[in-house]
C-alpha cells in the first residue's frame, strides 16, 4: 500500500484483514478509499476491476450491518451497497445471496426470496441458498413450503444447520418427535453448538421428557458460557420451569447414519502437504469435498489437477471423503 496506495486489490485485501483482527474503523476507511479509487478510474479500468469493487461494496455493507445500533440511514446505505455489488458482478451468485440475506434479516422475506431465487439460478448446487429461501418461507409463516425446499437438498449435503432448519419446519407443523430427531442428529454432528442442544431440549420438554430436556439445557448453557463468558439467563429460567413438570417418558433416538452414501469422481483442487489435507471438486455438482491424506489409498500425496474417485460421508463439518483412490490415465 505504501508503494502503490491506489491498488484496488490490495485495498480489498487489507480491508478484509482489518475486519478479521477487529480494527473496524481501519476496515471502514480502507473500504471507502477503495470505492473512491474505483469511482475515479476510467471506464475500461472499472470494467476490469468490477469484481474487486463488488467485494469492497459487500464488505462495507457487512461492516455497516455489524453496528450495534443501526439507524435507518445505515440500513439504506447497506442496501445500496449490496445492490452496487450486484451491478458490478451480476453473474456472481453470492452477490444476489448477500442482498437476499440482508433483506430477510431486515424483515422483508418476499423481496428476499426474489434475490435468493436468482442466486439459486446462478449456483443451483450451493445448498446454503435453498436453506436461506426456506428460512424466508418460515418467516412468512409457510413451514410446508420451507420443508419442501429443504427436501430438495441431497442427503449428503444436509449439514447440521440444514437439519436444524428442517427441524424448525417439522416442529411448526406439530411433528415433535420427527423434529426432535433432526435436532438430535444436528447436535451429534456439531456437538459444540449450544443452540442445537437448546432447541433439542425445548422439543424434548414438549414431548414430556423432563430429565433429558434439563440435561440438554444444562449442556447448552455450559457451551454458551464457554463461548460468551456468561450464563444464558433464559436457559437457566427454562431449566427451573421444566423442573416443576412431571418426569414423563424418556425419548430414545436411533444413532444417526453417517455411512458412505456414494462413489464419486472429481479433481483435486488443493492439497497442503504440511498439514496433510486438501479438497476435491466433485464432478457431479461442483462441490468442494474435504479429504485427509490418511484416507488416500497407500497415502500417495495427490497433486492439484489429479483425477480421483472417492466415497463420501457426512462429517461434523459437512461432506468429506472417507476413501480416495487415484485414477490411472
Q: What is the DSSP string of 17-84?
A: HHHHTT-HHHHHHHHHHHHHHHHTS-HHHHHHHHHHHHHHHHHHHHHHHT-SS--HHHHHHHHHHHHH
User: Which of 190, 197, 237 minimizes the C-alpha distance to 213?
Assistant: 197
Q: What are phi and psi of 70, to 5 degrees?
A: -75, 135
Q: How many whole angstroms separate alpha carbon 229 and alpha carbon 235?
A: 15
Answer whether 158-256 and 262-326 agree in fold.
no
Residue 105: closest CA among 143, 167, 61: 61
Q: What is the mean pLDDT of residues 6-15?
A: 88
Greatest mean pLDDT among 149-158, 217-226, 303-312 lies in: 217-226
CATH number of 262-326: 2.40.50.140
262-272 and 288-292 beta bridge pairing:
unpaired
Separation CA 231–CA 240 (nearest Å): 14
Task: Report the C-alpha gap between 305 and 292 in whole angstroms.
Answer: 16
Give the whole-angstrom CA distance, residue 13 versus residue 30.
9
pLDDT confidence of 78, banded at 50, 70, 90?
A: very high
For 244-297, write each residue's pLDDT tens digit. 999 899 999 887 655 445 678 899 999 998 888 999 998 877 788 899 998 898
Confidence of residue 315 (pLDDT cuts 50, 70, 90): low
CA–CA distance, 138 with 254 (Å, rounded to integer)? 27
Per-residue pLDDT at 301: 87
What would the pLDDT profile of 114-142 be if each residue is shown by its tens digit?
A: 999 999 999 998 889 999 999 999 999 99
Give pLDDT, residue 256.
64
Per-residue pLDDT at 257: 57
Long-range contacts of 88-93 (CB under 8 A, 24+ apart): 88/50, 88/51, 88/53, 88/54, 88/57, 89/50, 89/51, 89/54, 91/122, 92/51, 92/54, 92/122, 93/119, 93/120, 93/122, 93/123, 93/126, 93/129
Q: What are phi and psi of 173, to 5 degrees?
A: -90, 10
Share the mean pLDDT of the chain.
91
Residue ranges covered by each domain of the chain: 158-256, 262-326
CATH architecture of 158-256: Alpha Horseshoe (1.25)
State how far the Cα of 187 lies from the Cα of 160, in Å rounded to an integer: 8
Question: pLDDT of 286-297, one tens digit each?
Answer: 788 899 998 898
Give the three cell numbers for residue 12. 480489498
Burial class (CB within 10 angstroms; exposed 0-12, middle 13-18, buried 19+) of 305: exposed
Partners of 276 in beta bridges = none
Among 137, 88, 147, 89, CA closest to 116:
137
Helices then strands, counting H and E runs in the chain, come out as 13, 5
Beta bridge partners of 278: 271, 291
Question: 258: which DSSP letter?
Answer: -
- Model confidence, pTM: 0.75
Cβ atoms of residues 184 and 253 within 8 Å: yes
Mean pLDDT of 157-166: 91
- 23-43 average pLDDT score: 92
Amino acid at each position: 500500500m505504501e508503494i502503490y496506495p491506489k491498488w484496488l486489490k490490495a485495498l480489498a485485501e487489507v480491508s478484509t484483514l482489518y475486519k478479521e483482527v477487529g480494527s473496524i474503523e481501519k476496515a471502514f476507511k480502507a473500504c471507502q478509499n477503495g470505492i473512491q479509487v474505483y469511482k475515479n478510474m476510467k471506464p475500461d479500468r472499472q470494467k476490469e476491476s468490477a469484481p474487486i469493487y463488488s467485494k469492497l461494496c459487500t464488505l462495507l455493507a457487512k461492516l455497516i450491518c455489524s453496528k450495534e445500533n443501526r439507524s435507518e440511514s445505515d440500513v439504506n446505505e447497506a442496501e445500496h451497497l449490496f445492490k452496487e455489488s450486484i451491478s458490478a458482478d451480476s453473474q456472481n451468485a453470492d452477490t444476489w445471496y448477500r442482498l437476499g440475506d440482508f433483506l430477510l434479516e431486515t424483515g422483508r422475506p418476499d423481496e428476499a426470496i426474489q434475490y435468493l431465487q436468482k442466486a439459486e439460478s446462478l449456483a443451483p448446487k450451493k445448498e446454503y441458498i435453498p436453506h436461506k429461501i426456506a428460512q424466508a418461507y418460515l418467516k412468512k409463516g409457510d413451514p410446508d413450503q420451507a420443508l419442501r425446499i429443504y427436501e430438495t437438498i441431497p442427503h449428503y449435503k444436509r449439514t447440521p444447520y440444514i437439519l436444524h432448519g428442517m427441524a424448525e419446519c417439522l416442529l411448526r407443523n406439530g411433528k415433535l418427535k420427527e423434529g426432535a430427531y433432526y435436532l438430535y442428529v444436528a447436535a451429534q454432528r456439531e456437538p459444540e453448538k449450544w443452540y442445537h442442544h437448546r432447541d433439542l431440549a425445548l422439543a424434548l420438554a414438549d414431548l414430556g421428557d423432563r430429565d433429558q430436556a434439563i440435561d440438554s439445557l444444562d449442556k447448552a448453557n455450559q457451551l454458551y458460557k464457554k463461548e460468551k463468558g456468561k450464563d444464558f439467563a433464559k436457559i437457566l429460567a427454562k431449566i427451573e420451569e421444566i423442573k416443576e413438570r412431571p418426569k414423563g417418558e424418556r425419548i430414545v433416538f436411533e444413532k444417526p447414519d453417517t455411512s458412505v452414501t456414494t462413489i464419486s469422481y472429481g479433481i483435486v483442487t488443493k492439497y497442503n502437504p504440511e498439514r496433510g489435507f486438501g479438497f476435491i471438486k466433485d464432478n457431479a455438482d461442483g462441490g468442494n469435498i474435504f479429504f485427509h491424506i490418511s484416507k488416500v489409498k497407500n497415502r500417495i500425496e495427490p497433486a492439484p489437477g489429479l483425477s480421483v474417485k472417492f466415497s463420501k460421508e457426512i462429517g461434523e463439518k459437512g461432506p468429506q471423503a472417507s476413501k480416495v483412490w487415484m485414477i490411472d490415465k
